[in-house]
Chain A
Amino acid sequence: MAVADAVWVHDVTVSYDGNIGIERVSIVLHPSEVLGIIGPNGSGKSTLLKTIAGLLRPIRGTVEVFGETPQHLRPGTIAYVPQVETVDWNFPATVWDVVAMARFPRLKPLQRFSSRDRTAVHNALQSVDLTALSNRHISALSGGQQQRAFLARALAQEPQLLLLDEPATGVDAATSELLRVVVRGLAAKGMPVLIATHDLENAEQWFDYLLLVDRTVVAYGRPSEVLLSPEFKRVLRAHHHTRELI
Chain B
Amino acid sequence: MDWLTAPFQLEFMVRGFIVAILVGTLCSVIGAFVVLRRLAFIGDGIAHASFAGIVIAYLRGANFYLGAAVVAVLTALGIGFVHRKANVSLDTSIGVLFTGAFALGIFLMSRQRSYTVDLQDYLFGNILGVSRQDLLLIAVLCAIVTVTLTVFFRALVYTSFDPIVAQASGIPAGGLDYLLLVLLALTIVVTLEAVGIILVAALLVTPAAAAYQLTRRFSVMIALSAVLGAFCSVGGLYLSYYLNAASGATIVLMATLVFFAAVAIKRLWLSAPHHARSSRP
Contact = CB atoms under 8 A, between A and B. Distances in A.
A92 B216 contact: yes
B162 A86 contact: yes
A79 interface: yes
B170 A74 contact: yes
A139 B280 contact: yes
Interface stretch (B1-9, B20-28, B150-158, B231-239): B150-158
B168 interface: yes
6 contacts: A80-B168, A81-B165, A98-B161, A101-B158, A109-B151, A110-B151
Pick the 5 closest A-B CB pairs, nearest first: A75-B170, A80-B168, A53-B168, A137-B216, A109-B151
B157 A101 contact: yes
A101 B216 contact: no
Contacts of B166: 101, 104-105
Contact of A82 (B154, B164, B218, B278): B164
Interface in A1-26: 17
B162 A79 contact: no
Contacts of B171: 75, 104-105
B244 interface: no
A92 B162 contact: no
Nearest to B212: A92
Given A79-B168, A80-B168, A102-B169, A92 B217 contact: yes
B164 A105 contact: no
Interface in B229-281: 278, 280-281
A110 B152 CA distance: 8
Contacts of A79: 168-169
B266 to A, nearest CB: 13
A59 interface: no
Most central of A81, A86, A104 by chain B CB within 10 Å:
A104
Contacts of B165: 80-82, 153
A109 B152 contact: yes
Nearest to B220: A92
B280 A140 contact: yes
Contacts of B169: 75-80, 102, 105, 157, 159
A140 B275 CA distance: 13
Contacts of A78: 168-170
A238 interface: no
A92 B221 contact: yes
Interface of A: 17, 53-55, 73-82, 86-88, 91-94, 97-98, 101-102, 104-105, 107, 109-110, 137, 139-140, 153, 157, 159, 163
Contacts of B157: 101, 104
B216 A104 contact: no
Given A137-B280, A140-B278, A140-B280, A54 B167 contact: yes
A79 B280 CA distance: 29
Contacts of B215: 92
Nearest to A53: B168
Contacts of B57: none
A92 B278 CA distance: 16
Given A92-B217, A97-B218, A137-B216, A76 B170 contact: yes
Nearest to B211: A92
Contact of B218 (A53, A93, A110, A139): A93
Most central of A81, A87, A94, A105 by chain B CB within 10 Å:
A105
Contact of A87 (B162, B168, B218): B162
B70 interface: no
A101 B280 contact: no
Given A54-B168, A80-B168, 17 more contacts: A75-B169, A76-B169, A77-B170, A78-B168, A82-B162, A82-B165, A86-B164, A91-B160, A91-B161, A92-B212, A93-B216, A101-B161, A104-B154, A105-B170, A137-B216, A140-B278, A153-B165
Given A54-B168, A78-B168, A104-B171, A91 B281 contact: no
B167 A87 contact: no
A8 B247 CA distance: 63
Nearest to A73: B170
Contacts of A163: 168
Nearest to B279: A140
Contact of B281 (A107, A140, A153, A159): A140
Most central of B165, B166, B168, B171 by chain A CB within 10 Å:
B168
A74 B281 CA distance: 39
Nearest to A77: B170
Given A86-B162, A101-B158, A104-B155, A94 B216 contact: yes
Interface string B185-214: 000000000000000000000000000100
